[in-house]
Amino acid sequence: MRQAVLDAALNILADKGIADFAVSDVVALSGVHETTIYRRWGTRDDLIIDTLLSNSEQRIPVPDTGSIRTDLYQLLGAIGEFLDTPSGRALSQALSRGGDEPRWAQMRATFWGTRLRLTQPIIERAIERGEMPSDTDPRLLLETLIAPLQFRTLSTREPIDQQLCTRLVDLLLDGAISGSR
């Protein structure tokens, strides 16, 4: 039942975006009764957040290879692959277009805060291994790494490939490491 609802919600988000997302559409597509959806998720916004987070966790795993560079190659490659799909583009656009109302701001903050918290251990492990300076800001480093992909997805609509992801990781790490010397 949960997966059927999340799959339906993802399809609706990809087709209509966050602003036009309706639980009634999820009901029609999933076949799950509306009261069951509200009993499990409580609110429409909670269903949207769970859908976005569940999808991103499935599509973008957090690697632990023992090397910061390899971890970030894999992470950024997975993000790039996801953003280069119709659903990845639609979800990125939906998050950015939600508006400035407090509920949309909260939704974005919850989504990005959770995703950054999930990936932050990559940087923390690198600091522990001595690969990164001890004063490295994990969130800033990850935001700096992911931002060019979001820019391409939302602004220029240019493709994202593995070569770009590799170049971005190298550029960021080489700058972060040499800047600490």
Q: How many CB atoms lie within 10 A of CB 178?
A: 8
Range(s) of the domain holding residue 30: 2-50
Q: pLDDT value at position 180?
A: 56
Q: pLDDT value at position 91?
A: 75
The pLDDT > 90 percentage for the chain reads 57
Same structural domain, 159 and 72: yes
Q: Give the CATH number for residue 11.
A: 1.10.10.60
pLDDT digits (tens, 9 = 90+) for 62-103: 999 999 999 999 999 999 998 888 777 777 877 776 667 787
pLDDT digits (tens, 9 = 90+) for 166-181: 999 999 998 877 655 5
Choose between 94 and 46: higher pLDDT.
46
Residue pointed to by tokens 């820019």: 151
At 94, list the tokens.
Answer: 């939906």
| Vertex 64 angle, CA 58 and 65, to 5° | 125
- What's the per-residue H, E or C state across the chain? CHHHHHHHHHHHHHHHCCCCCCHHHHHHHHCCCHHHHHHHHCCHHHHHHHHHHHHHHHHCCCCCCCCHHHHHHHHHHHHHHHHCCHHHHHHHHHHHHCCCCHHHHHHHHHHHHHHHHHHHHHHHHHHHCCCCCCCCCHHHHHHHHHHHHHHHHHHHCCCCCHHHHHHHHHHHHHHHHHCCC
Mean pLDDT throughout 139-147? 94
Q: pLDDT value at position 19?
A: 78
Lowest-pLDDT range of 29-33, 104-108, 162-166, 177-181: 177-181
At 4, list the tokens.
Answer: 């059927």
| Separation of alpha carbons 82 and 151, rounded Å | 14
Residue 56 maps to a domain: no
Same structural domain, 65 and 154: yes
- Residue 17 · residue 107 · CB < 8 Å: no
Same structural domain, 29 and 67: no
Lowest-pLDDT range of 6-15, 84-93, 103-112: 84-93
Same structural domain, 29 and 118: no
Residue 20 maps to a domain: yes
